[in-house]
Chains A and B, each alone.
Chain A
Amino acid sequence: MEQPSKINNNEKSIQQGFSPSGCGDLISTRKFTALVVDNDPICQIIEKAILESQGVETQFVGSGIDALDLLVTGANFDIIIIAWVLPMMNGVETTRQVRAMGIRSKLLAVTACFDERKKKAFLDAGVDEFIEKPLNPKKVASIMREMKND
């Protein structure tokens, strides 16, 4: 395929599969996947819809145990979103166990109520980012841009 010139407009570059920056880099067409670990049905549905609107294939589970059971089968996810409040095993412990399995997915902690103690606990356990609910499409879009550029 012919390299676009640096003065190509963004739309033409994208149609040709090249980054609009004109540097010739291919835009990632890889399908990203996500797992939402949250026992709140509203949050499950909304977070799944937000991720899917960004082209991310998403599943959800209602507990840390279910998440670990899924991961142990070999299921791979680019992004794992973990809530603070989960039945039986909280989000922090879930995070610890996910990292202990050697999983290197992008882990995002989400919680309804921000506090420093919670943030520290999650970050120490191994999350990449700590987000106060609600998760919103703009935030997810920004995360996806970073991941696609990596």
Chain B
Amino acid sequence: MDRNKQHRQVALMRQSLFDQGLLDEQFVQLEELQDDANPNFVEEVVTLFYRDSARLILNIDQALDKSPLDFAKLDGYMHQFKGSASSIGAKKVKSECTLFREYCKAGNGEGCKRTFQQLKKEYALLRKKLETYFQLARQVGPVETACRRI
């Protein structure tokens, strides 16, 4: 595949992440921080996010297994998770975090559990799509982010 086609493929893949509501403007802002000194800044931050948040996911899973549920603790975990998810522009994950916290405030354990399952799906889906995107982007070389249509 020629280089132009590869670049177009990367650009389309990137755009689809926004069109599907997986990412928001914050991701674009992070891309704009990349430069020659830090060409892979976004990928590095996303990798760190997935590594660091695995611990939070485990904590929340374990807390949801307890009875009775400690909503304050759950809320605290999710507050932190939401902070880092929103910082990388993970739009759908962030929405699920907000919903989870609403269920916590309402003391709705079933709602929390259901939402958390959905959150984990969105989290895993985003991870898979970003891994594919970053891998392709690395293969074709630097992609112009001048086209910011989102």
Contact = CB atoms under 8 A, between A and B. Distances in A.
Contact of A46 (B45, B52, B79): B45
B145 interface: no
Contacts, number: 66
Nearest to B27: A134
A121 to B, nearest CB: 15
B33 A133 contact: no
A45 B45 contact: yes
Chain B: interface residue count, which band? 20 to 34
B98 to A, nearest CB: 8
Interface stretch (B10-18, B83-91, B113-121, B124-132): B83-91
Contacts of B101: 113
30 contacts: A40-B52, A40-B80, A41-B48, A41-B52, A42-B45, A42-B48, A42-B87, A42-B88, A43-B87, A45-B48, A46-B45, A46-B87, A46-B88, A49-B30, A49-B33, A49-B38, A50-B33, A84-B79, A85-B76, A85-B83, A112-B83, A133-B87, A134-B83, A134-B87, A134-B89, A135-B87, A136-B25, A136-B26, A137-B32, A138-B29
Interface of B: 25-26, 29-30, 32-33, 38, 41, 45, 48-49, 52, 76, 79-80, 82-84, 86-89, 97-98, 101
